[in-house]
Amino acid sequence: MIIEGAAVVIEVDNVNTDVLYPGPYLNIDDPEVMKLYLFEGLDPSLRDKLGRKTILVVGENFGGGSSREHVPLAMKASGIGAVLGRSFARIFFRNCINLGLPAIVCAEAVAAAADGSEIRIDAGKGRVEVDGRSYDTPVLPPFVIDMIRGGGLVNYVRRRLAERAASEE
Amino acid sequence: MAHTLAEKILLDHTDAGDLKPGDIVPIRCDLVLANDVSGPVAFGAMEQMGAATVFDPDRVVMVADHFMPAKDIRSAELQKRLREWSHEHGVHFFDQGRGGIEHAVLIEEGFILPGMVITGGDSHTCTYGALGAFGTGLGSTDIAGCLALGEFWQSVPGTILVEVSGAKRPFVSGKDIILEVLGRIGVAGGTDMVLEFVGPGAEALSIDDRRAVANMAVEAGAESGIFPADRITTDYLAGRTDRPWSALRSDPDAIFARRLRIDLETLEPLVALPPSPGNVVPIGSVAGRKIHQVYIGNCANGTITDLRQAATVLRNRRVHPGTRAIIVPSSQRVYRQALEEGLLEVFIDAGAVVSTPTCGACFGGHTGILAPGEAAIATTNRNFTGRMGSDRADVYLASAWVAAAAAVTGEITDPADVVGEGGP
Ligand code: SF4
């Protein structure tokens, strides 16, 4: 599974989901509207840097705090194809995987990336390339890779429900 | 094989024969929770999953609390959706004026028992560890999966054992214990971990104090914060539920990722400085900072214990003219009890605003938003930039004792300086 795109870098560590998507906008449930408020409490001008193929590059413990899925939903709606970070907060990481948005840990690749760097992620092989230089990442657990490959938790649950229905017949 | 308390609870909820930290396993949930923010997004995902019904309506609870009472049309639409969906699926539903803040409601109304697994579309689902349960916060798609299947995938967490000794000094509360933990391990120190609180100091804590502690486990990035169930848990549950449960404990030879020791004899009131719950300092080092708004409430510290502490400080005193105080009981039950105990009268006489139970300003939603340049002290759990309104406002986190003292003096103050050294 390969994802390519241009880097948009957020340098700071411990970026929480409140600043990524502030509370007042939680009464929105349409990702196409959510994306208008992504990064609102951090730096709204970051939105202008997002293209159709963006890899968001982040620091340590990215996405801590609230479980609001509005953050990865707005990211997907904005064209972000993967998040590459030094480390992720747990609920944010889960939310990304469940939405089929790869969240990849690779500190060396993060250190090498600058805004606009060409990034290529091979999640299955555990490899990240930044401007042609290659870095190894821990391979994601097979369950997580399957989840991302299968298009996320919606499809996974669909399959599980179908299996249950078949076994009951 | 020896297991931690968290591992034992998870083992009881999976078909996996054994498990260890890092394993990814399917876990059955005993209870699934969502609110007016996470619920409607989950309902959309559930439709996409092709699930027409929930796995068990009796194991699903919906609570309108975040933008409740509806602050605008969009919020009203979300609550309408929550209400209609709940009725259609026959699940438990706490509407406006019926429940209050979700985590207070579920604990106080007897939904939570030791040993349960609770998944909630809210990060503070970890609060249920106060009763020895494994509560964990999930996003909306995860919650949709739980609603449809009654299970979720979980990476088995390790455990940080927090050993608490000694007895609390006057004006020290559960809030100070968890702030001490956060100050030591930081906001990422609990990633992929559960915090387990043991020792005589933990065993002596009331359920309200345990709620304050467990609630902020997620502020360390932890999956949950758990107190093994004991006599205090049994007493608390008597009269709330007659469903059976059994108490589990970590095996003595279980493997812990880390141990922390907290001696209550030396613990003093603490304050988390903006913009992180991990920026923890002793109250003395920030005394005198000007406070424009005091907020006593939220799912961690809007309990009857917190309101009694606030009333002890505010009785026969007035809110300082340079500051404003907002007091939010966390549930209808607490609201009524505060009324019966005469606490609401104390607050009103002091010049505080008393609000209906709601998340409200805790997450910057409504009813108490801060202007640029203002500072608040709050008994809430997050002080991130912009959390309670303007991104140029400061939020300090502290106990109800400390927050109420600031209401009287208009600045951060040691409660002993207001009430007297000897304590209440
Ligand atoms: S009171 Fe605050 S922290 Fe608790 S559930 Fe509501 S918004 Fe979240």
Asked if B414 contacts B287 with a C-beta cutoff of 8 angstroms, the reply is yes
Task: Provide the residue ranges of all domains of chain B, joining segments of one domain with +.
Answer: 5-263, 273-414
Q: Which amino acid belongs to residue B95?
A: D
- The CA distance from B261 to B164, in Å, is 6
- The CA distance from B389 to B402, in Å, is 22
Q: What residues form DSSP beta bridges with B394?
A: B375
CB contact under 8 A, B122 and A67: yes
Q: A51 falls in which pLDDT band (50, 70, 90)?
A: confident
Tens digit of pLDDT per residue, chain B (424 long)? 899 999 999 999 999 999 999 999 999 999 999 999 999 999 999 999 999 999 999 999 999 999 999 999 999 999 999 999 999 999 999 999 999 999 999 999 999 999 999 999 999 999 999 999 999 999 999 999 999 999 999 999 999 999 999 999 999 999 999 999 999 999 999 999 999 999 999 999 999 999 999 999 999 999 999 999 999 999 999 999 999 999 999 999 999 999 999 999 999 999 999 999 999 999 999 999 999 999 999 999 999 999 999 999 999 999 999 999 999 999 999 999 999 999 999 999 999 999 999 999 999 999 999 999 999 999 999 999 999 999 999 999 999 999 999 999 999 999 999 999 777 7
Assigned token pair, B61:
């609870």
CB contact under 8 A, A61 and B221: yes
Same fold, B5-263 and B273-414: yes
List of residues 6+ apart from A111 with CB closer than 8 A: none
Domain enclosing residue A45, as ranges: 2-168
Closest ligand 1 atom, residue B65 Cα: 6
pTM (two decimals): 0.97
Asked if A67 contacts A95 with a C-beta cutoff of 8 angstroms, the reply is yes
Give how far B403 is from chain A: nearest CA, Å. Answer: 22
User: Does the beta carbon of A89 lie under 8 angstroms from any beta carbon of chain B?
Assistant: yes
Closest CA to B241 of B63, B101, B114, B65: B114
DSSP B265: G
Residue with tokens 């409660």: B415
CATH topology of domain B5-263: Aconitase; domain 3 (3.30.499)
Task: Give phi and psi for A50, each to the nearest 5.
Answer: -80, 130
Give how far B383 is from chain A: nearest CA, Å. Answer: 10
Q: What share of chain B is helix, strand, coil (3-state, %, to 5)?
A: 35, 20, 45
In this prediction, does ipTM exceed 0.90? yes
Angle formed by the axes of helices B140-149 and B38-48, nearest 10°: 60
User: Does the beta carbon of A116 lie under 8 angstroms from any beta carbon of chain B?
Assistant: no
**A2-45 pLDDT per residue, tens:** 999 999 999 999 999 999 999 999 999 999 999 999 999 999 99
DSSP A169: -
Say which CATH number the domain at A135 has. Answer: 3.20.19.10
Task: List strand residue ranges (DSSP E) for B293-352, in order.
Answer: 293-296, 324-327
CB contact under 8 A, B188 and A29: no
Angle formed by the axes of helices B304-314 and B400-409, nearest 10°: 30
For chain A, what is the domain count?
Answer: 1
Assigned token pair, B200:
């005589």
Asked if A15 contacts A58 with a C-beta cutoff of 8 angstroms, the reply is yes
Closest CA to B225 of B179, B268, B275: B179
User: Does the beta carbon of A46 lie under 8 angstroms from any beta carbon of chain B?
Assistant: no
Assigned token pair, A41:
């409490």
Residue B101 Cβ < 6 Å to ligand 1: yes
3-state secondary structure of B289: coil
CB atoms within 10 A of CB A145: 17
The CATH classification number of B273-414 equals 3.30.499.10
3-state secondary structure of B318: coil
- The CA distance from A149 to A102, in Å, is 9
Give how far B51 is from chain A: nearest CA, Å. Answer: 8
CB contact under 8 A, B78 and A94: no
3-state secondary structure of B259: strand
Of A22, A69, A87, the CB nearest to B139: A69
